Chain A
Amino acid sequence: MSAVWDVVFLNPLINLLIILNNLLFSDFGLAIIVFTLLMRLATTPLTLRQIHSTRAMTTLQPKVQELQKKYKDPKRRQEETMKLYRQAGVNPLGCVLPMLVQMPIWFALYASLRATVGGAPESVVGLSQRLYPWSYIESAVPLNNHFLWLDLGQPDHTLILAVLVGASMYVQQKLTVIPTTDPQAQARNQMMTWMMPLMFAFFTQQVPSGLAVYWAVSNITQVIMYYFVYGPKNVSWRTFFSSPAPAPGSAARRRDRAESAPAEQEDEEPAAPAPAKTSKRVRDGRRRGKRKNRR
């Protein structure tokens, strides 16, 4: 299994990385940046599908919760839920499958950086077992580990990269967090929004800076992708300095709960736009829910 992984995923990526290094004036830092961008580009369709599917699923959550309350029989509930998904044109596996498909790619990408970025002689011995027997590739060893102020094989102790990784991850988390009505999930989201950037900023001080460059570029690329997919309406400075916004429906629900008898059902509305087909159906559902509440 390990050999298959090496031959199919890891070794091709390592050799591609070194070819990029040669094409980019033997600048390994540039090679890491372009390599990360290329991999992001290659997985863009999957990433977009995943984002769209996740949002569509979130949008349908109020109706799913309605069904859960309405049907006590698990089998019937399952059938009705699947029917709802079918009607909405949503594949429940749409969120998970693209991520599963991408996982080996990102693991291999990370492993390829691990194999090349160290620069220590032990790493070079390991690298010798992975390079294709082409003089164009082999002549690149040892790789030039100097990029800007960084020794890519050593941690960056200037804090610049740590701040860059932490900030870019914070922005990315802020943009991609999915609004939820569940207070626990809200608290979890809020914690993750702070914890992850802090943790990665800390990791940046421990690992070779070449990896931190990859993290920073990867985060920034995802932020840019998000911006172009969802437009400036969803990306404002206020987004970055407020706590993760709960779904708008949740505020209404809380008011309803305070003003009236216990709510008959969960009501939830996503903040971000969903794909056209799904959002129409969900809007219909919301109207029905509100009518019900009024009654």
Chain B
Amino acid sequence: MAATLLLTTACVRIAQPSGWAGPSPADGRLVIHSQSGKLAAVDIASLQVDWEFPAGQKHGDGTKLQLQGIYGNPAIVDGTVYFGAYDGWLYAVGLASGQPEWQAHLGGHIIGGAVVSGGLLYVGSSDNQFYALDPATGAERWHFQAGDDIWATPLVEGGVVYVAAMDKKLYALDAADGHQLWPKPFEAGGGLASTPVLADGTLLVGGFDRRLYAIDAASGEKKWSFKADNWFWTRPLVEGDTVYAGSLDGNVYALGLADGKPRWPKPFDLGAAVRAAPVLVGDTLVVASRSGRVAGLNPQNGELVWPLPIEVGKTLLADPLPQGDVVYYSAQGGALLKVMPKEGTFSQLVVVKATTPTASPTPAAGTSTPAPATSPTPGGAAGPSPTQVGTP
């Protein structure tokens, strides 16, 4: 009996990281986190996979590339896809070819997305460091040390990088050299994992202390905060003078941007944790819960505009991508869904793998091994070391 008990417990599967990167648009393609746990470029018209990454590549030490999950949305700039993976590597992959251009190993899992702005590539890591890299080579330009993991995608606006960290702090850094711009970072009551949003000089960021904060972007002082029944992990949406944010308590809230007061008579209850960001398509606010319930709401009063919410039967945690009058959702496990807000319907897109992959596992010519740059910031030059991708 005891043996049976032990064996039963031993055989129970532990949830492994799978990633929740949302789809990103690029030249008639969607770059998605595929069902095979890879990054894939899918032609929107034909739904054919143009390439998948990795395709058998190995690290410099001969170990096979295994992303383990992609959480942050990739940044696609000038024909290159930049993304960090749970395996701790930051990758630059050619959009046309799917071939790696460079890769750099950071010190911990990469959960936030990468952002390219002003000629630098920004990304945070679970090694408590925030990195600014050269997007052409992956060489480090500067880094900043926080007090805990950095899980959030940074926000770069007007030469300032806003970095939310799990040490409960929001930092404003000079985008050029990484020095702090506020007298002291803003401090919340819990870890900050959601991507900050800037609107009318107000930064909005949600925390694991169940609060959504509005912060003055110039000074870092708190303007207001709103408390829900569970954590805020969604990227808020600001439309006009209203902030829309979902909480892991299962509710979607509409709050005044100026004062944080609720705008709807009551929040919309989706019945399960809300991690995916709300998006506005036409006059419909589209929201989704972890359990796969998607609802189209009237942004003015929070009433359902569809007859009923739709149940897609998949776990939805990734931020959706509004494109024209449709919304693309990437479900856990890699299924790609298209929601039509006007009709209140959805369809699961069947992505077809090309029989002859266009991407060959051979590295593209010119993928050199650049030397890491010297860090200009205090704390030394210990940073990511870009390496060339080997062939299988």
Contact = CB atoms under 8 A, between A and B. Distances in A.
A135 B190 CA distance: 7
Interface stretch (B4-12, B43-51, B302-310, B355-363): B4-12
Contact of B189 (A107, A118, A129, A135): A135
B111 A125 contact: no
Contacts of A129: 230, 248, 273
A66 interface: no
Given A139-B191, A142-B191, A110 B12 contact: yes
B290 interface: yes
Contacts of B1: 96, 99
A128 B248 contact: yes
B71 A121 contact: yes
Contacts of B18: 120, 122
A102 B367 CA distance: 59
A207 B14 contact: yes
A294 B125 CA distance: 80
B151 A99 contact: no
Given A110-B12, A114-B12, A118-B16, A142 B166 contact: yes
Interface string B87-103: 00000000000000000
Contacts of B365: none
A125 B151 contact: no
A123 B15 contact: yes
Nearest to A117: B14
A128 B9 contact: no
B208 A138 contact: yes
A120 B15 contact: yes
A96 B1 CA distance: 9
A292 to B, nearest CB: 35
Given A114-B12, A139-B189, A207-B14, A121 B151 contact: yes
B16 A139 contact: no
B219 to A, nearest CB: 25
Contacts of A133: 210, 229
Contacts of B229: 133
B233 A203 contact: no
B245 to A, nearest CB: 15
Interface residues of A, number: 31
Nearest to B233: A125
B9 A107 contact: yes
B167 to A, nearest CB: 10
A291 to B, nearest CB: 37
Nearest to A133: B210
A128 B234 CA distance: 14
A262 to B, nearest CB: 34
Contact of B14 (A125, A128, A208): A208
Contact of B332 (A103, A122, A138, A142): A122
Contacts of B111: 121
A120 B16 contact: yes
B168 interface: yes
B322 interface: no
A121 B5 contact: no
A184 B274 CA distance: 56
B319 interface: no
A220 to B, nearest CB: 15
A199 B12 contact: no
Contacts of B149: 142
Contacts of B233: 125, 128
B69 interface: yes
A193 to B, nearest CB: 11
Contacts of A107: 5, 9
Contacts of B189: 135, 139
Contacts of A90: none
A32 B275 CA distance: 29
B15 A110 contact: no
Contacts of A199: 7, 10
Contacts of A110: 9, 12
21 contacts: A99-B1, A103-B5, A107-B9, A110-B12, A114-B14, A120-B18, A120-B69, A121-B17, A122-B18, A122-B317, A125-B233, A126-B15, A128-B248, A128-B273, A129-B230, A135-B209, A138-B208, A138-B209, A139-B189, A139-B208, A139-B209
Interface of B: 1-3, 5-7, 9-12, 14-18, 20, 69, 71, 86, 111, 148-149, 151, 166, 168, 189-191, 208-210, 229-231, 233, 248, 273, 275, 290, 317, 332
Given A121-B17, A128-B208, 14 more contacts: A107-B9, A114-B12, A114-B14, A118-B14, A120-B69, A121-B20, A122-B317, A123-B15, A125-B248, A128-B233, A128-B248, A138-B231, A200-B6, A207-B10
7 nearest CB pairs, A to B? A120-B17, A110-B9, A128-B248, A203-B10, A128-B231, A118-B15, A138-B190
Interface of A: 96, 99, 103, 106-107, 110, 114, 117-118, 120-123, 125-126, 128-129, 133, 135, 138-139, 141-142, 192, 196, 199-200, 203, 207-208, 211
